[in-house]
C-alpha cells in the first residue's frame, strides 16, 4: 500500500464525522463529501465538539481541524485520495451504485473501504471495475473514540488489500480484527444483537424493567468485558484448571441447562412502547448530547486505564502498543 496522506470521507453523518475527526487527529489531510443540505456546517460542528476528546487521547504531529476540506462533488473529493472511507446510507442498491462511481473516480492504487454495518462487500463491489481494492472497514460508534474496526473482504477483494487495510488501521491507533468469512452484520453487531435479544425477552417476560436490564449489563459482565473478552474471562472462571476445566465442567452444564431457555421475543408495538417508556424514564430528562458526553467521558477514562496494560505484537503483526504511542506523541 502506498503511503497515505489524503483521506476521502464519503458521507458525513455520525459515523463519517467520527471518522473524519479521527483521521484529522492522526494528522491526515481529509476531504469530505455529502450531498445533504447543511452537511459541511454539521460536520465542522461535530469535529469542533469532538476535538477536546481526541486531544485527550493524543494528537499526531500535524493534527488540525484546519486540514479538513469539503466539497459536494463526490468525484472531486475522491480524485486525489490515497484511502477512501465510505459512510453512506445502508441501502444495498445505493451502495452498489455509489461504490461503482467511487471506483471509477479514485486513483487505481487507492483502497476503498466501507463502514457499512451490515451489507457484505461481495454485494457492494458487484459493479466495480476494480473490486480487488474494495474492503469493509467497519468501525464502532463513535469512531474517534472506539478502537475496534472489523476488516473483511468480498469474493473479489485481493488478499493484499485486506492485509494493507489491517496494517493501515493498526498504524493509526485502531484495533482491527480480520473476519475470515462474510456475514450480514459482521461480528460485533451480531454479538450485540444476541445479547439484546435476551434483554428484550427478559423485559417482555417482566423479569425486570429497562433500567435494571441496563444495570445488569453495565455493572456486571459489561465491566469485565471492558477489560477482557469472554473467552479469556472464562479462562479465569475455570480457576486453576483454566479454560479446559471451564469447558469440561462448567460450559457443558451451562449449554445444556441455560441455552435452551434463552428467549425469542416478538417485538410487538406494546413491547416497543414498554422499552421506549423505560428508556425515557431511565434518561430522566437528560438530553442526547448530555448522555453522549457522559458516555464519551467514561470511554476516555476507560482507555486511559487500559493503556498501560496493552500488549504489543498482536495478531495483525503490527506493534499495536507502538502505534498507539505514535498516535499519542
91 and 211 assigned to the same domain: no
Q: Return d(Cα 90, Cα 119) in angstroms, integer.
A: 7
State how far the alpha carbon of 194 is from the alpha carbons of 123, 150, 199, 273, in Å: 24, 18, 9, 21
- What pLDDT, in 10s, does the model give residues 34-65? 999 999 999 999 999 999 999 999 999 999 99
* Domain-located, residue 17: yes
Is 311 a member of any domain?
Answer: no
Shared domain for 142 and 276, answered yes or no, is no
Residue 314: inside a domain? no
Give the C-alpha separation, 143 to 9, whole Å.
13
pLDDT at residue 227 greater than cutoff 60: yes
Q: How far apart are CA 212 and CA 218, in angstroms?
A: 10
Round to whole Å and give the CA distance between 101 and 305.
Answer: 43
d(CA 166, CA 88): 22
- The answer to whether the beta carbons of residues 81 and 20 sit under 8 Å apart is no
Poorest-confidence range of 129-133, 279-283, 325-329?
325-329
Average pLDDT over every residue of 160-165 = 97
Residue 308 is assigned to a structural domain of this protein: no
Q: Is residue 302 part of a domain?
A: no
The band of 95, judged by pLDDT with boundaries at 50, 70 and 90, is very high
Cell (9 digits) for 21: 475527526
Please give the residue range of the domain that contains residue 92: 6-186+324-328
Question: What cell does 39 get?
Answer: 452537511
Residues 255 and 108 both lie in one domain: no
Domain count for the chain, please give it: 2
- Residues 148 and 194 both lie in one domain: no
pLDDT digits over 259-282, tens only? 899 999 999 999 999 999 999 999
Portion of the chain with pLDDT greater than 90, in percent: 87
Residue carrying C-alpha cell 463529501: 33
Its pTM stands at: 0.89
Same domain as 204, residue 131: no
* Contact criterion met (CB below 8 Å) for 22 and 171: no
Same domain, 40 and 182: yes
The mean predicted confidence, pLDDT, of the chain is 92
**Lowest-confidence segment of 15-19, 39-43, 301-305, 317-321 by average pLDDT:** 317-321
Give the cell for residue 217. Answer: 449489563
CATH number of the domain at 207, please.
Answer: 1.10.1040.10
The verdict on 141 and 259 lying in the same domain is no
| 12, part of any domain | yes
| 243 lies in the same domain as 128 | no
Yes or no: say if 38 and 13 are a contact pair by the CB < 8 Å rule.
no
- Residues 233, 224: contact at Cβ < 8 Å? yes
All three cell numbers of 66, joined, read 484546519
pLDDT at position 311 is 62
99 and 219 co-located in one domain: no
d(CA 197, CA 50): 32
- Judge whether residue 320 has pLDDT over 90: no
- In this prediction, residue 322 has a pLDDT band, given cuts at 50, 70 and 90, of very low
92 plus 115 within the same structural domain: yes
157, part of any domain: yes
34 and 176 together in one domain: yes
**Higher-confidence residue: 38 or 250?**
38
Structural domain contains residue 316? no
pLDDT in the model for residue 253: 84
Question: Which CATH number characterizes residue 114's domain?
Answer: 3.40.50.720
> If you average pLDDT over residues 183-187, what whole number do you get?
94
For residue 142, say if its preceding peptide bond is cis, omega within 30 degrees of 0. Answer: yes
Residues 209, 171: one domain?
no
Amino acid at each position: 500500500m502506498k503511503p497515505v496522506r489524503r483521506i476521502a470521507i464519503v458521507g458525513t453523518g455520525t459515523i463519517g464525522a467520527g471518522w473524519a475527526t479521527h483521521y484529522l487527529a492522526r494528522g491526515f489531510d481529509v476531504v469530505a463529501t455529502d450531498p445533504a443540505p447543511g452537511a459541511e456546517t454539521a460536520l465542522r460542528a461535530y469535529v469542533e465538539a469532538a476535538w477536546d476528546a481526541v486531544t485527550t487521547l493524543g494528537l499526531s504531529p500535524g493534527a488540525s481541524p484546519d486540514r479538513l476540506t469539503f466539497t459536494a462533488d463526490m468525484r472531486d473529493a475522491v480524485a486525489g485520495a490515497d484511502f477512501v472511507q465510505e459512510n453512506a446510507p445502508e441501502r444495498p442498491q445505493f451502495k452498489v451504485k455509489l461504490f461503482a462511481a467511487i471506483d471509477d473516480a479514485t486513483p487505481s492504487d487507492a483502497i476503498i473501504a466501507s463502514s457499512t454495518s451490515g451489507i457484505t462487500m461481495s454485494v457492494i463491489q458487484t459493479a466495480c471495475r476494480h473490486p480487488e481494492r474494495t474492503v469493509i472497514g467497519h468501525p464502532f460508534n463513535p469512531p474517534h473514540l472506539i478502537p475496534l474496526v472489523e476488516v473483511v473482504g468480498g469474493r473479489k477483494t485481493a488478499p493484499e488489500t485486506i492485509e494493507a487495510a489491517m496494517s493501515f488501521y493498526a498504524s493509526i491507533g485502531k484495533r482491527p480484527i480480520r473476519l475470515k468469512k462474510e456475514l450480514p452484520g459482521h461480528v460485533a453487531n451480531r454479538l450485540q444483537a444476541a445479547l439484546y435479544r435476551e434483554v428484550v425477552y427478559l423485559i417482555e417476560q417482566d423479569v425486570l424493567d429497562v433500567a435494571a436490564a441496563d444495570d445488569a449489563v453495565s455493572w456486571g459482565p459489561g465491566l469485565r468485558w471492558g477489560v477482557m473478552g469472554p473467552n479469556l474471562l472464562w479462562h479465569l472462571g475455570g480457576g486453576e484448571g483454566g479454560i479446559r476445566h471451564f469447558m469440561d465442567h462448567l460450559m457443558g452444564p451451562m449449554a445444556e441447562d441455560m441455552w435452551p431457555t434463552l428467549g425469542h421475543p416478538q417485538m410487538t408495538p406494546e413491547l416497543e412502547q414498554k422499552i421506549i417508556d423505560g428508556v425515557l424514564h431511565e434518561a430522566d430528562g437528560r438530553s442526547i448530547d448530555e448522555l453522549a458526553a457522559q458516555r464519551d467521558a467514561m470511554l476516555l477514562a476507560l482507555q486511559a486505564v487500559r493503556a498501560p496494560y496493552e500488549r504489543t505484537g498482536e495478531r495483525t503483526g503490527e506493534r499495536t502498543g507502538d502505534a498507539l504511542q505514535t498516535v499519542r506523541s
